[in-house]
Each structure stands twice: as structure tokens, then as C-alpha cells.
Copies of this chain bind each other. A is one copy, B any other.
């Protein structure tokens, strides 16, 4: 059994605050743990850490809900101020039924509550919003790692999304740099030379999901290294995770 892929939690990261440089914190925690980043690594950072560093934290107490937010909040059993924040981040509402509010965000992601979330945010009534441009976040973290450490691993920003039809949430990539989000096998033959119909592997989402297995949500491990995927790591930053977004006109579920 040859060497496969490793998922390594980066332990010892501090609570992230606005203005923190995540690259430096990751590198320091790695050094403290006696570990070194490799150029073929993928550094997977939880959205919440990125949002905190980018000061995408809001207090519900500062939010004045609109009439629409108050009505929708009452209908869904949600805090009207949270609904106001969600609608402010939404390009369109996909579903607003029962206690669920699924929107397409201004950044193009379809998810519950526009990715706004209160867990693991210090302070009462504090929530995180998604980074304004998670691909840009990934590119910036990558550049900072390269400047400080002399290697250019790929960087992925991961968040936990629910899914239609299946219970539970799985981590997916909402931002990336230095890794192609999709691995397109459609032009490559299978083992018997037949075309591999419709096989496009969502590599970066699988990387995000794998990384989630490496950390305990309550243990303060916002970053994992996925090692052994050198074949997917590219010199250029690439198109980012938004290349995974299915165009509305090609989508059968919105």
C-alpha cells in the first residue's frame, strides 16, 4: 500500500480576530508543532476563521429589520434581524418554507441563511457573514504563505453546507487558489478505452470534506493540511471555487 493522502489538523491556533493574518498564524502553529508546509500541500481554512480575520462579524443588535425581514422572520420562526442580514447578502431567495431560508448569495453560492452563522462566534448576538470574495481570500492567504514560507501550497476556504435530499451538512469549498476546483475526465478514456461520460470530479469540494474529518468542531482547529494531492496543486491561482457554480440557466433546482 503506497503512500496516500494525509489530513493533518493544525493545532494550537488562537481565536481569530479582525485584522489577523491567517497565513502567519498557520505558519506559527505549524512551526510550534514541529511541522513544515510543503509546496504540494493544500491548506484548508474554515470560513469562520477567514470571516473573523476579515471582520465579517456583525452584531444582531446593530441591525434594524425591514418590514419584509420582520414578516419573513415571523413566518419562518427566525430572528428578524438575522433575516435582514440574510436578505442583504442574497441575490435571490431560493426557498423560504417552514424554518428554512435558502438563498443565492451575492457571491453566487446557494445555501441556507446566506452562510450566516452564530456558532463559535464570541459574544452574544454575534454572527459571521461569508467572506466578500472567498476566492480572493484564498489567493491572499496563499500569497502571504508564499512570502513568509517560500512555498506555495494551494489554499481552500471551506464551509459546511446542507444538501437537498440528504440529511446533514458536508464541507464544501467556497474559495480556492492554486487548485483546480474541477477535474474534468470527460476527454479521458476509462480503463477499457471508453469515454468516461459526464465524469467531472469536484476535487476541491472533496478536499474540503476530507479536511472536515481532520478537525473537531469544538476543539479550535480551523485549519487542516491535506497532503499528497500534489497532482492537483497548480502554480497559477486558477479560476477559484466560483468555477464550480452552476449557471442559473443550466440548473434544474432553482
The answer to whether B168 and A119 touch across the interface, beta carbons within 8 angstroms, is no
A210 touches which of B11, B202, B210 (Cβ 8 Å): B210
The answer to whether B220 and A191 touch across the interface, beta carbons within 8 angstroms, is yes
Report the Cα distance A59→B247, complex, angstroms.
35
- Count identical subunits in the complex: 2
A165 touches which of B9, B191, B199, B246 (Cβ 8 Å): B246
The answer to whether B169 and A199 touch across the interface, beta carbons within 8 angstroms, is yes
The answer to whether B1 and A11 touch across the interface, beta carbons within 8 angstroms, is yes
| A201 and B1 contact, Cβ closer than 8 Å, known pairs A164-B252, A217-B185 | no
Near B by CB (< 8 A), chain A positions 197-254 give: 197-203, 205-207, 209-210, 212-214, 217-218, 220, 224-226, 228-229, 243-246, 251-254
B-side contacts of A62, CB under 8 Å: none
| A6 and B9 contact, Cβ closer than 8 Å, known pairs A217-B199, A218-B188 | no
A120 touches which of B5, B30, B192 (Cβ 8 Å): B192
Stretch from A68-76, A95-103, A144-152 at the B interface: A95-103
Report the Cα distance A197→B118, complex, angstroms.
8
B-side contacts of A205, CB under 8 Å: 166, 168, 170, 209
Please give the number of chain A residues whose Cβ is less than 8 angstroms from any Cβ of chain B in the complex.
Answer: 81
The answer to whether A218 and B190 touch across the interface, beta carbons within 8 angstroms, is yes
| In the complex, residue of chain B having the shortest beta-carbon distance to the beta carbon of A7 | B5
| In the complex, residue of chain B having the shortest beta-carbon distance to the beta carbon of A202 | B168
B-side contacts of A171, CB under 8 Å: 206
A44 to chain B, nearest CB (A): 12
